[in-house]
Chains A and B, each alone.
Chain A
Amino acid sequence: YKSYEGPSGNGGLTALPELKEEDLTEKFARGSGPGGQKINKTASKVILVHEPTQLRVECQDTRSLQQNRKIARKRLRLKLDEFINGSNSRTSVKAAKASKKKSKAKARNKARQKKKKEIALKEEGEFY
């Protein structure tokens, strides 16, 4: 699988590994009936498995089977990325960024609260 270390020219994002169609097995909830015009079942669930890694995603996000197939592939690519690249995967990097952002905001808030308190105490002191 193609995987890249470190940032590419993609704004710091590494390229996702490619999925080969021949490695994928798809299952649908269409059942064993005749299909086509004869059936009007609206089941649009897709189960997508990447055979070499046995990674699996399910998708029933939309009412369109074709859209769900596309979304399932995107999700499977992300899963494959995590599987191959571990801490360098796009989702890990994203999560790390988010948690860094969160802790920064928390620290800023703490500093702000501290300063407020100091000002309040100082003003109190000025009245006496």
Chain B
Amino acid sequence: RDLVRRRLEHEPIQYIIGEWDFMDFTIKCRAPTLCPRPETEELVEHVIHQIQNDQQQHKDNDNNPIQILDVGCGTGAIGIALARAFPQAEVTAIDIAPEAVALSNENARLLQLSDARYKAQLCSAADFTTEASTAATSVMKFDYVVSNPPYIPFNDMETLTPDVRDHEDFGALCGGDDGLNVVRDIVAMLPQWAGESKCTCWMEVDVSHPIMIRDWIGGSGNDDVNKFVEYRQDLCGRDRFVRLEVS
């Protein structure tokens, strides 16, 4: 009966059950950390195909571990999915919410991922410099940066359904007035995170963003280092994913 009451109060089913499936595994979900959406599974699929393509093209090259950064890790779903898909990958994950960092690490250990393969730490995108990194290798040289940052524009927050609005973390949803605050931080840090070699950045964003980001980064003189490669729609036909590159 208590479970029914909670559901009647619009508590997300993932919080009530305490877990949900993401791709081919199950992760613990806990309020107020954002529950992964199907769009985020799509994001992961895009990154996996990207990495597989890149591996095909550089077959004979180094056997060095693939370095992946998950910005705003939440439950850990994205980084964990990539660590599972690529046994040779090392995933670093950051989030500003202590609950999210704890939950991400908890989920990783439950899924047999060691500290060396997956480690979440408390840090914002803007503050994630070499000094701040506590990862085992203190690596600041990522091959891939993935993010599902808070991206809802402030004015849209009041249109949210009660299950989202009343139970999930505001900070994990709202990206400021235009929704691009965290995206801007990521783009600003990308050259530093890339280090010497090529770095690809995939992000899930609001439907209003891909065109805005393309015009902002792609525009001449605006950003010489970052390159806007493409944007894609999700399975419901909305502009949803962007791919950037630092060479």
Cβ A40 vs Cβ B152 within 8 A: no
> Which B residues touch A67, using CB under 8 A?
21, 23-24
| Chain A residue, CB-CB nearest to B163 | A40
Interface string of A47-67 (1 = CB under 8 A from B): 000000000000000111111
Partner of B42, one of A39, A42, A63, A66: A66
Q: Is A38 interfacial (CB 8 A cutoff)?
A: yes
> Which A residues touch B236, using CB under 8 A?
28, 30, 35
Cβ A63 vs Cβ B20 within 8 A: yes
Cβ A44 vs Cβ B235 within 8 A: no
Question: Provided the pairs A28-B235, A35-B234, A65-B38 are in contact, do residues A40 and B12 lie with their beta carbons within 8 angstroms?
Answer: yes
Chain B nearest CB: distance from A27 CB in Å?
10
Partner of A39, one of B41, B45, B164, B206: B164
Q: Is A18 interfacial (CB 8 A cutoff)?
A: no
Chain B nearest CB: distance from A36 CB in Å?
5
Chain A nearest CB: distance from B199 CB in Å?
25
Q: How many angstroms between the C-alpha atoms of A39 and B173 in the bound complex? A: 11
| Chain A residue, CB-CB nearest to B179 | A37
Q: Is A12 interfacial (CB 8 A cutoff)?
A: no
Partner of B159, one of A30, A38, A62, A64: A38
| Interface, chain A (partner B; CB < 8 A) | 26, 28, 30, 34-40, 42, 44, 62-67
The 5 closest A-B pairs by CB, nearest first: A63-B21, A65-B38, A66-B41, A64-B21, A40-B164
| Interface, chain B (partner A; CB < 8 A) | 12-14, 20-24, 34-35, 37-39, 41-42, 44-45, 148, 150-152, 156, 159-161, 163-164, 168, 173, 204, 206-207, 234-236, 238, 240
Given contacts A30-B236, A63-B21, 18 further A-B contacts (CB under 8 A): A30-B235, A34-B159, A34-B238, A35-B39, A35-B234, A35-B238, A35-B240, A36-B204, A36-B207, A38-B152, A38-B156, A38-B161, A40-B12, A40-B163, A42-B13, A65-B235, A66-B23, A67-B23
Q: Can you list 30 A-B contacts (CB < 8 A)?
A: A28-B38, A34-B156, A34-B207, A35-B236, A36-B151, A36-B204, A36-B207, A36-B240, A37-B34, A37-B148, A37-B152, A37-B173, A38-B152, A38-B159, A40-B12, A40-B37, A40-B161, A42-B13, A42-B20, A64-B21, A64-B22, A64-B23, A64-B38, A64-B41, A65-B38, A65-B41, A66-B38, A66-B41, A66-B45, A67-B23
